[in-house]
Amino acid sequence: MFKVVVGLITGLLFGLGMNVSQMVNPYKVLNFLDVSGNWDASLAFVIGGALLVFVPFYHLLIKPRSHAVNGEPIQCSTLKTISPKLIIGSIIFGIGWGMVGICPGPAVASLLRGEAAIYWFLLSMLLGHYLSKRLFSRA
């Protein structure tokens, strides 16, 4: 039950943060990404503010621990190389984000808004995830 409560609280905080900061507004995101046109730098403050909170708390509360609050072991990636798959995936992610101004976290936080574009985005994202798993599991 504790895991469910922790998940609920963190999910609520995440969704609230996405909505209050306007990260769920595709037009706000697209204006942030349009550095040569109608640039809106306000989302840089969202990212900067998140880092100002995250970095000290990570070093004080998370890094020294071997287990998360819910009792599960904390597993950090040990990968030190940049693979072609990572570069290609990053490019595809960036193209998609730049085209529609939506990325996975804010899309999930926007589910209750009832906007058809969000549902199409999530359906496409799940299809892309499925296809990439199928393609790369054979390799």
Higher-confidence position of 138 and 123: 123
pLDDT on residue 70: 76
Q: Is residue 5 pLDDT above 60, yes or no?
A: yes
* pTM for the predicted model, two decimal places: 0.74
The mean predicted confidence, pLDDT, of the chain is 90
88: closest CA among 135, 18, 47? 135
The CA-based diameter of the chain, rounded to the nearest angstrom, is 49
Kindly state the average pLDDT of the residues 128-137: 89
- Summarised one tens digit per residue, pLDDT across range 96-126 is 999 999 989 899 989 888 889 999 999 999 9
